[in-house]
Structure 1
């Protein structure tokens, strides 16, 4: 993972709909990812590139690409993974880490379903020039994770590293940008958008921003950033490995404690397959890594305990920990997806400012006492 540059602040700052400060997560700078491990608090972190993390995790792993697992069959001494092309593979354990639409979860825990909190998100990857990056950093006091909360139930978040893309002559930065708004607006306006047409999706997103946000520097900047989204893969200069066409997507989640504990056996769920989380608090990928670490530790205990007991301990801890984060992220949407007037804004400002003071007091205690 690229180490932090001297000018990077790997933390999140939240503003209101016109860019006024609401809350900033305290942050202790570190020179590299290894320094974070020794810290006794959570007020530190490094924004990582997913493709680099993915390459690291795939080192030494035998991957068969182009295959889709659609189910499984259990036996007395193992489990068969069944693939769409009719082939099958046998193993001691099947780990369903196949995302929010997991066929493994649907077979193992058919009543563990996705939950729709009533919001739509459009998430895009874009390369932004230095002048726009500087505008974002100016509004967000150099914080690399920027979030804003609108008065009409809408949200924006963006994040990037101050590491220029080497494919461009001028400094340009890989950026992930997301706009979230209540589903009710598309239903009310009887909107018909071709979600297979990237240009149609982006034009609609810009229209929603104009509708739900007041004219201001932040609104103009969001519109300009979405205007940079490519409608197709841009030859060799595209800064991301994979082009994901922009689409409107329901912001779904899964609470693993919404159903009774499932059977502890050779079929294990991990990550979004068990506890998909909306991105507003940035807890999804963190939970996936915690799942992998916990499962690895439990499987190492198989020399002393039987496999089912190891899986039971994993399931119990995973469900409790991840459910808390799923519901915390869901509640953030619930609290702010409705439109608010001036009094509601005053209450919101007061809550966030008090939270900001509390966070800074806690951080000071953790850092220095």
Structure 2
């Protein structure tokens, strides 16, 4: 995490590097598509529960019969809309945009801070940037608290560059956005999140269930969405391989607990990243103090860690 001058405020390090792996989304997607019969270009519209199964209807007029329908159709899930009509997504009034660019040699500071991992950069008035190395490119994102109704509809590429210039005042970050080709921009969009529910909203339907963002849509800032969806998938697979009258109920209870803990953590991170005024300044000071104290804490705790390792 850095301030707008690209000075490090805090650095996260994995406690055990062997337990954390970086996987490219494209490679993962290709692996998951292997040996699966997929019908593309279909849009789900509704389902109908029968005595002996379930029918799924699509906008091209086709109908598919099955035993169980699993809605893993993302944050705007149409399966969820029918299964839980009262489920609400909260408009966070935060706008997000992004782009991809090949690294330039004259962006030395960005090279330095992003060589091993992604970096979060705090600007003024709640503006935040993310720079993430991806193969031979950089992915960058810009997000900020909305200042006018539906601001995302009227933000041009030039205005995004001006926002970075105004709220970060850093030439390298400005060049990062200026040199991004129009075809590589992601148009500004609003951020939503599920409410932090304390009671399980899933109706224990024996024929329909949900998975991933379809069940618990969350913000991206904590990086929990994909791993939470994978955990859902493993638990659901176990429930389907070992069926009982309570299999889906047990799965949904696990999925609810894990999923909405992730929703809460993600929302907390999103709010922290977009703090404004004195709260943003206090955040930066606290992160700096923690960063300076961590080496001392590591030295002090070293004997305890060596003792524990010796007796494990």
Per the normalisation by structure 2, the TM-score is 0.86
Change over 3 Å in CA distance of 1:229–1:317 after alignment to 2? same
1:228 aligned residue: 179
1:39 aligned residue: none
Task: Provide the rounded CA distance (Å) in 1 between the counterparts of 2:256 and 2:70.
Answer: 15
Q: Which of 11, 14, 23 does residue 24 from structure 1 map onto?
A: 11
2:119 aligned residue: 146
Following superposition, the deviation at residue 114 of structure 1 comes to: 1.1
| Residue 251 in structure 1 maps to residue 191 in structure 2 | yes
* Counterpart mapping for 1:28-67 below 5 A: 35-36=18-19, 44-46=20-22, 48-67=23-42
Deviation per CA, 1:297-332: give whole Å up to 9, x if none: 222211xx23xx111111111111111111122123
Q: Which structure 1 segments of 5+ residues have no match?
A: 1-13, 37-43, 164-172, 195-199, 233-242
How many pairs were matched up?
Answer: 303
* Counterpart mapping for 1:152-301 below 5 A: 152-161=125-134, 163=135, 173-184=136-147, 186-187=148-149, 193=153, 201-213=156-168, 215=169, 219-232=170-183, 246-255=186-195, 257=197, 260-264=200-204, 265-301=206-242
Contact kept, 8 Å, 1:123 with 1:179, in 2: the verdict is: yes
The secondary structure found in structure 1 opposite 2:165 is helix
The secondary structure found in structure 2 opposite 1:20 is coil
2:266 aligned residue: 329
Following superposition, the deviation at residue 256 of structure 1 comes to: 6.8
* Comparing 21-30 and 67-76, the one that deviates more: 21-30
| Residue 114 in structure 1 maps to residue 69 in structure 2 | no
Change over 3 Å in CA distance of 1:297–1:331 after alignment to 2? same
Contact kept, 8 Å, 1:257 with 1:320, in 2: the verdict is: no
Contact kept, 8 Å, 2:152 with 2:188, in 1: the verdict is: no
2:103 aligned residue: 129
Q: Which of 340, 346, 349 does residue 285 from structure 2 map onto?
A: 349
Task: Provide the rounded CA distance (Å) in 2 between the counterparts of 1:259 and 1:249.
Answer: 29
Change over 3 Å in CA distance of 1:228–1:267 after alignment to 2? farther
Task: Provide the rounded CA distance (Å) in 2 between the counterparts of 1:275 and 1:152.
Answer: 29
Contact kept, 8 Å, 2:196 with 2:264, in 1: the verdict is: no
Following superposition, the deviation at residue 109 of structure 1 comes to: 0.6
Task: Provide the rounded CA distance (Å) in 2 between the counterparts of 1:357 and 1:286.
Answer: 30
Task: Provide the rounded CA distance (Å) in 1 between the counterparts of 2:229 and 2:36.
Answer: 18
Task: Provide the rounded CA distance (Å) in 1 between the counterparts of 2:210 and 2:124.
Answer: 38
Q: Which structure 2 segments of 5+ residues have no match?
A: none
Task: Provide the rounded CA distance (Å) in 2 between the counterparts of 1:70 and 1:271.
Answer: 19
Per the normalisation by structure 1, the TM-score is 0.73
